[in-house]
């Protein structure tokens, strides 16, 4: 760009455009390929411009409406308009500085009107405002703005730390709510299981007692029929004594039991028989009343 080539011909690379002057004044654009010019008539190739898309990263530091300092990283993709390459060649000495200046101006005009949360949510609107302004300005200089990307918004370190703490506190609060609900469900299920277990245990005990009563009744009837002259009370006393000695035997044979002291004697056997008989009679009367 700006170099004078005073030969008769030259090749312009693909995705480029050449600027030909005649006697120091712009004459025409040279397209990619082989081009001829006449140095004797004052024609020469002054320079070339690339029509490829260029990328420019701009970092802007500004302040939001709620007084939070932020850094914005913008990526601008631009290119030379082939038909207006002469304007891009002659009008701007340094297009990147011009683009940066307009980006700074537009961003610092829009961001101070927005809170930090609004800026994070509406960063595309800021990029759109920058794009509209640059298209209007840079188009007059032969440049087309292809895309503008708001790559990153970086708040101050203390603000980021505070935002992380707020987010962590909200998540812990939500976790506490879920944990409380889980504990509540666990306690309810545990109470329901205990109630069901007690109910089934009661049913089992009642059936066990009923089976014992039925078995004793059957044994008494069989013994009374087979041994004449015996009463039901005598048979009951005999069964109770047998059960009593079986219980003492089981206690003695069990290796898991510690020493157990129980009253033992003929009178105690009679008392135990009376207690068991009274208990069975009370259970039978309770079933009748039910």
Query: pLDDT tens across 24-68, in order?
Result: 888 889 999 888 888 888 888 888 999 899 999 999 888 888 888
**DSSP letter (8 states) at residue 62:** E
The CA distance from 15 to 28, in Å, is 17
Phi-psi region of 267 (alpha: psi -120 to 50; beta: other; left: phi over 0): alpha
What's the CATH number of domain 54-155, 3.30.70.260, 3.30.1180.20, 3.30.479.30, 3.40.50.2000? 3.30.479.30
Long-range residue pairs from 197-200, CB within 8 A, at least 24 positions apart, any chain: none
User: Rounded to an integer, what distance in angstroms lies between the CA atom of residue 20 and that of residue 275?
Assistant: 129
Q: What is the pLDDT of residue 80?
A: 92
Asked if 45 and 2 touch (Cβ cutoff 8 Å), the reply is no
Mean pLDDT of the chain: 79
- Cα–Cα distance, 211 to 277 (Å, whole number): 15
Residue 66 in tokens: 């709620």
Question: For the CA atoms of the chain, what is the radius of gyration?
Answer: 52
Burial of 21 (0-12, 13-18, 19+ CB in 10 A): middle
* Predicted model pTM: 0.53
Output the six-digit token pair for 256. Answer: 């898991």
E strand or H helix at 274: helix 266-289
Q: Tokens 């935002």 correspond to what residue?
A: 163
Whether 204 shows a pLDDT value over 60: the answer reads: yes
CA pair distance 92, 84, nearest whole angstrom:
13
- Residue 78 belongs to what H/E stretch? strand 69-80
Cα 204 from Cα 247, distance rounded (Å): 21
The contacts of residue 62 (CB under 8 Å, 6+ apart) are 69, 70, 72, 107, 108, 111, 112
For the stretch 207-223, pLDDT in tens is 876 777 777 677 767 76
């Amino acid at each position: 760009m700006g170099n004078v080539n005073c030969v008769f011909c030259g090749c312009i690379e693909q995705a480029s455009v050449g600027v030909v002057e005649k006697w120091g004044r712009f004459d025409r654009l040279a397209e990619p390929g082989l081009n001829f010019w006449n140095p004797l008539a004052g024609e020469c190739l002054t320079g070339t411009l690339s029509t490829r898309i260029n990328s420019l990263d701009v970092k802007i530091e500004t302040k939001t409406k709620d007084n939070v300092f932020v850094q914005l990283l913008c990526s601008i993709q631009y290119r030379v308009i082939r038909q207006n390459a002469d304007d891009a060649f002659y009008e701007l000495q340094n297009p990147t500085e011009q683009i940066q200046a307009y980006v700074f101006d537009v961003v610092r005009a829009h961001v101070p009107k927005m809170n930090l949360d609004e800026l994070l949510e509406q960063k595309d609107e800021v990029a759109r405002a920058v794009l509209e302004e640059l298209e209007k300005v840079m188009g007059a200089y032969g440049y087309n703005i292809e895309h503008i990307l708001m790559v990153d918004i970086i708040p101050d370190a203390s603000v980021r730390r505070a935002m992380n703490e707020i987010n962590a506190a909200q998540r812990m609060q939500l976790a506490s709510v879920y944990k409380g609900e889980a504990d509540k469900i666990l306690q309810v299920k545990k109470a329901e299981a205990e109630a069901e277990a007690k109910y089934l245990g009661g049913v089992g005990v009642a059936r066990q007692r009923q089976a014992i009563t039925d078995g004793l009744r059957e044994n008494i009837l069989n013994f009374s029929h087979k041994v004449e002259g015996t009463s039901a009370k005598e048979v009951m006393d005999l069964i109770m004594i047998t059960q009593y000695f079986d219980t003492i035997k089981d206690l003695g044979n069990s290796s898991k039991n510690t020493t157990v002291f129980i009253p033992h004697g003929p009178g105690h056997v009679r008392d135990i028989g009376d207690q068991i008989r009274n208990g069975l009679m009370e259970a039978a009367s309770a079933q009748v009343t039910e």
